A and B are shown apart, each in its own frame.
Chain A
Amino acid sequence: MVPGAFVRVLFPTREKPHRPGLPHIGYVLGITTGYAMVAYTTSQPWPGDTPLPAGARVFDAMEAARLNQSRAFLLRLDVLAKLPLTQAWFPDMQQSGAGIVAIAPPKLQAELTKLATNLARRSRELLEMRGP
């Protein structure tokens, strides 16, 4: 597994948040010893009358194709999972290619890191308490 990879992952669901969930392609924001921070992706169209969440990055069909994906998709940097690097969560880990669909080019990785950094800052600012 490498940082910046789009990888097959059993992303947890709201119904069973602590168990391997449905097969998705996730984006690996980063890796540490034995663990990965993975962002959710979906190819379900976003409802036109609903504003996109702050952490969403749209990949149109052309951009998706460059990342070996057959359909346009939405990367949700606001929906994250901290997961162990095990076959239970990454079912194709032991196979050749380790379930990696594509690796984002460095420029895209830097863009996504920046977007996630801004989002994390926004989250922290909202949590900051006013002084006594």
Chain B
Amino acid sequence: MPQARSQPTRPRRAARGEHPTTRKAASKVAITLRLDPDRVARLQAIAEAENRSLTNYVETALLRDLARREEAQRVITMYVAPGVPDNIRAEDVVRAEGESDEDYTERQALMVDLWSIPDNT
């Protein structure tokens, strides 16, 4: 008795007549964005100047913002042990022995600034 050939579970894209980019595009999620008309007009003008569609311009702007945030996270990697407070007061920063007023003020400002950076590990 002849063996039945197993059927491929999924037909090839070309065989389905599917454009190669269709699946990728389908994996994107559509969102609804509500903006003031004035802002839309400004964004539209920028998009046209950059020879893009409005949708593409908005997507690009969001991706730029994400990239900037990721870059900012890479600037300082902050580990935070459990139970450490989120913020400190400048007056609680301990002064180093023999530290000048100017250097101490700078250290206080630095500590308050760095302490506000959350865990990003």
A residues apposed to B, CB below 8 Å: 2-4, 11-12, 14, 17-18, 29-33, 35, 37, 54-55, 78-84, 89, 106, 109-110, 113-114, 116-117, 119-120, 122-124, 126-127, 129
> Is B88's beta carbon under 8 Å from chain A?
yes
Given contacts A116-B110, A122-B75, could you give 11 more A-B pairs where the C-beta distance is less than 8 Å?
A: A3-B96, A14-B121, A18-B82, A30-B110, A30-B111, A32-B111, A80-B117, A84-B84, A110-B106, A123-B75, A127-B68
In angstroms, how far is the closest chain A Cβ from the Cβ of B81?
5
Q: Are A30 and B78 in contact (CB under 8 A)?
A: no
Chain B residues whose CB sits within 8 angstroms of the CB of A116 once the complex forms? 110, 114
Q: Return the contact of A32 from the options B75, B93, B97, B109 (Cβ within 8 A).
A: B93
Closest to A15 in B: B121
Assuming the contacts A18-B82, A82-B84, A106-B98, asked whether A117 and B119 have C-beta atoms less than 8 A apart, the reply is no
Among the listed B82, B88, B114, which residue makes an inter-chain contact with A80, where contact means beta carbons less than 8 Å apart?
B114
> Mostly helix, strand, loop or mixed at chain A's interface?
mixed
Residues of chain B at the chain A interface (Cβ within 8 Å)? 65, 68-69, 71-72, 75-85, 88-89, 92-100, 103, 106-107, 109-111, 113-115, 117, 119, 121
Q: Assess A83 versus B81: contact at CB under 8 Å? Given A4-B96, A120-B113.
A: yes
Known: A14-B121, A37-B114, A55-B76. A30 touches B81 (CB 8 A): no
Measured CA separation A122–B74 after assembly (Å): 11
Q: Which of A11, A55, A110, A126 contacts B103 (CB 8 A)?
A: A110
Question: Which of B65, B78, B103 is within 8 Å of A113, CB to CB?
Answer: B103
* Chain A residues positioned under 8 Å from B89 (CB to CB): 32
Q: Is the CB of A106 within 8 A of B111?
A: no
A123 touches B72 (CB 8 A): yes
Cα separation A70 to B84 with both chains bound (whole Å): 33
Q: Which of A30, A117, A119 contacts B75 (CB 8 A)?
A: A119
CB < 8 Å: which of A11, A14, A110, A123 contacts B76? A123
For A86, the closest partner residue in chain B by CB is B81
Chain A residues within an 8 Å CB radius of B115: 32, 37, 82
Question: Which residue on B lies nearest to A114, using beta carbons?
Answer: B106
Specify the chain B residue showing the minimal Cβ separation from A118. B110
Q: Does B81 lie within 8 Å of A82, measured CB to CB?
A: yes
